[in-house]
Structure 1
Amino acid sequence: MARTTLKTPREIEAMRRAGALVAETFQVLEPYVKPGVSVQELDQIAEAFIRSRGAIPAYIGYGPRNNPFPATICASINEVICHGIPSPRKLREGDIIGVDIGVKMGGVYGDACYTYTVGNVTPEVRKLVDTARDCLDAGLEQVRPGARLGDVGAAIQKIAEDRGFGVVREYTGHGIGKNLHEEPTVYHHGKAGTGLVLQAGMVFTIEPMINLGRKETKLLPDGWTVVTADGKPSAQFEHTLVVTPTGYDILTLPLKSALA
């Protein structure tokens, strides 16, 4: 396993600026997430905004040389768990869409995901989305020096499974900095008191993917799109954070709203 690097104060502040741009991009997209708008339109709006701020969309061209990701955002609708490729498909009333955004700015990366509801959704789907958000919050609340990554995963798993939902295993959070994906690997399930000991200066994402049904997944032939094996909806929320001497600090918030 590669060594988990601790970030300098200068790197952390650069990542805060990159993360703020990610947060601002979600705000720019929000008015357009409505029935009749195509997913490609959302992608084009996000790309134009990110580039207007002097940053680079992190996902375009990412991945294997023979099958790079072709878009700015990952757009995951309903049963799509993650890595959905934007298409001409138009949003419909009752959909949910998980939008994952990464940017490179100032030599470092920011990365986050937000699940939008499109119009009115069923109570069952609303509970799923709320639970995915609660799982992220529960994972974040475990973060402090001396805690372990297993504490994060266990907290997420307990909330999801207590409510009858499945927690995706195959896709994880990750370290981030000068590279989009670094050590450590952050699982969203696990046993408290196990795993890597957290230290101030570590930067990583927590991004639980919570399924309405079973936890099993399926990769589609495009090599990117991951769907639930049972065809039921999935929701995800993600933040990039830094471990501080007293807890954590979210780096993917608008700059006015930093959380200590």
Structure 2
Amino acid sequence: MMNDKITTFLNSGLLNKYLIGQTTTSETLEAEHFIAEYPAVQKAYEVLQNKLEFTAQLNAEKAPQSILEDVLNTIEEKPVVTLKSKRTKKWYSLAIAASLAALLFAGSSAYLFNQNNKLSDENQIIVDEIFDLRSDIADNNNTLHQLLEQFKQLNNPETEKYVLKGNTRAKNLKTVAYINPKEKKSMIDVISLPQLPDDKVYQIWAELQDKMVNLGVLSEADRRLQEIPYTQDALGLSISIEPKGGSQVRSKDTPVAEISLKLNE
């Protein structure tokens, strides 16, 4: 990416002045220093040289003879001014040429500057897209790693499978819990949940000897294998209907699904 020092130099027009021989001694040294020191400036200088040569060739067309005759006739009839010397005429022509060249190269420099900025913007877009792609790859690799870990847990001989089916209050409810007491891992697969009013949710609990432990709220959006907190010495699992947002204490209503665990056998 072009640094500020190079950008300021290219935008100053000094390179254009140097190309047409209009720089002072100090400006000449500065221009030659930048050309020798920075490849980007050297490249811009070469482009300007090529543009000058191309423009000169493009405009080097012979004027029609009729135009020349008209001009001569006009001069003979009404001489506008008498030039004092050939040197004055030459200086005047060079001044016009220098002015035109300065305008041409000022435009060329601005064009190059804009093109460089455009290229820098495009490069930044590509960098951002590569970064996003790498981020997506990392996320996919992380998801794949989690799936492999879950697959290993499901196929572990120490993992017990428990199917919780709903009672008459939730006939279509079905979830599957996978518990490995040796690895202290618990997972649940939400297969189906009957629809509830907007102010109610399903909540799963672990039953201990003297209390119920909240393991989280279940949702249709969670219809995938996911980890839940492992509870040491749990006697069973149950699913109840609670107020929206969940509850820290299980309702006194009969659970809609429950099952005993064999972890202590």
Tell me if TM exceeds 0.5: no
Flag the structure with higher strand content: 1
TM-score by length of structure 2 reads 0.22
Between Structure 1 and Structure 2, whose CA radius of gyration is higher? Answer: 2
Scaled by the length of structure 1, the TM-score of the pair is 0.22
Q: Please state which structure has a larger fraction of its residues in helix.
A: 2
